[in-house]
Amino acid sequence: MNGDESSDRLSPDDAFAVLGNEVRVRILRTLGDAAEPLAFSELYDRLPIDDTSRFNYHLGELRGHFVRKGDSGYALDHPGRRVVEAIRSGAVTDDPDLERTSIDDRCPTCDERLEIRWHDGSVEVFCSRCESRWERSSSRVDTAEGPESGYLGRLPFPPAGIRDREAEEVFRAAHAWTIVELLAVGAGICPRCAATVETELDACSDHEDDGICSNCRSSFAVVLTASCTNCLYHVGSAAALGLLSSPALLGFMLDHDVDPLSPRSVCRLDRFFSGYDETIRSLDPLRVVLTLSLDGDELTLHVDENGDLVDVSS
């Protein structure tokens, strides 16, 4: 592919093989730092390398897929931009240090201060006074994690989101990030790769209301799971959160001054989505009724086995 800008796209194996070199990754990062295309000599001068032919060789390996050469110099092509974005997000390499930290935000159930920590790609949320809402191992494959007291859930969040933020800000940003992802899921779009998402509602037919149910390992009797048809994205959430993108639910929230993306709404939003009523009307086909309330007003959502809204009443 050297120098041939019109060559066919690379296979994933070949593309990642091209990236398996320190100089090439430095070239991509340097072009990502640059505000405009760089001439050969400008790019060379910015790299810790003093062998022009070696530099030229590695640049050639990147050209045609990750890097393109225009009239004004070298710049990242779209795949190169995605690689630099993945590096910058820290998702591939970083393991930031955020031990369990108490924050000002309060538990929606008991009003105790929440605690957060960063673990394995997510901000995990705990209450030191409450029962857990989920088992920590739920929805994870091959993890030996036991239940941890007061575990309220995890908010997927790239390591870059931890930088330059206080713990409270991390929690609120991770919250907003998760809401944005769930809005995409509700619209049938994978938030990681944009492919279609399949959603399914599961109801526990013998649910224990006190703490984590031993049958379904959740405090919610009705849980939504969504899986991307293309990538590894998978999420499990309270059923009502899967309806976030519906105008009925969004309208109800906004009418009561709860903006799902605003940091000031986090506490009310958490309370709203953790304390609603679930009624299983039928198991086959699955039909559930979720009754949510804000300021004394109620919204009743009738949901089918795919997590789709079939009827609304208020």
Asked whether position 131 contacts Zn ion by CB under 5 A, the answer is: no
Asked whether position 112 contacts Zn ion by CB under 5 A, the answer is: yes
Smallest gap, in angstroms, from Cβ of residue 231 to Zn ion? 3
Asked whether position 190 contacts Zn ion by CB under 5 A, the answer is: yes
Element at 108 (helix H, strand E): none
What is the Cα gyration radius of the chain? 24
Which single residue is written with the structure tokens 């930088």? 163
Of 32-40, 56-64, 96-104, 229-237: span binding Zn ion (CB under 5 A):
229-237
**CB-side exposure of 108: number of CA atoms within 13 Å?**
18
Q: How far apart are CA 263 and CA 172, in angstroms?
A: 6
Element at 212 (helix H, strand E): none
Asked whether position 204 contacts Zn ion by CB under 5 A, the answer is: yes
Smallest gap, in angstroms, from Cβ of residue 225 to Zn ion? 14
Asked whether position 130 contacts Zn ion by CB under 5 A, the answer is: yes
The amino acid that residue 256 corresponds to is H
Asked whether position 245 contacts Zn ion by CB under 5 A, the answer is: no
The amino acid that residue 110 corresponds to is C
Q: How far apart are CA 266 and CA 176, in angstroms?
A: 8
Of 23-31, 110-118, 268-276, 301-309: span binding Zn ion (CB under 5 A):
110-118
Candidates 116, 212, 228, 239; binder of Zn ion (CB under 5 A) is: 228
- CA angle (95 as vertex; 227, 101 as ends), nearest 5: 95
Asked whether position 129 contacts Zn ion by CB under 5 A, the answer is: yes
Q: Do 77 and 19 contact (CB within 8 A), yes or no?
A: no
Asked whether position 214 contacts Zn ion by CB under 5 A, the answer is: no
Asked whether position 134 contacts Zn ion by CB under 5 A, the answer is: no
Smallest gap, in angstroms, from Cβ of residue 108 to Zn ion? 8
The amino acid that residue 254 corresponds to is L
Asked whether position 231 contacts Zn ion by CB under 5 A, the answer is: yes
User: 167-186 vs 266-274: helix axis angle to the nearest 10?
Assistant: 50
Our CB check for Zn ion shows the closer of 149 and 230 to be: 230
Smallest gap, in angstroms, from Cβ of residue 98 to Zn ion? 20
Q: Enumerate binding residues for Zn ion (CB under 5 A).
A: 107, 109-110, 112, 127, 129-130, 190, 192-193, 195, 204, 207, 213, 215-216, 228, 230-231, 233
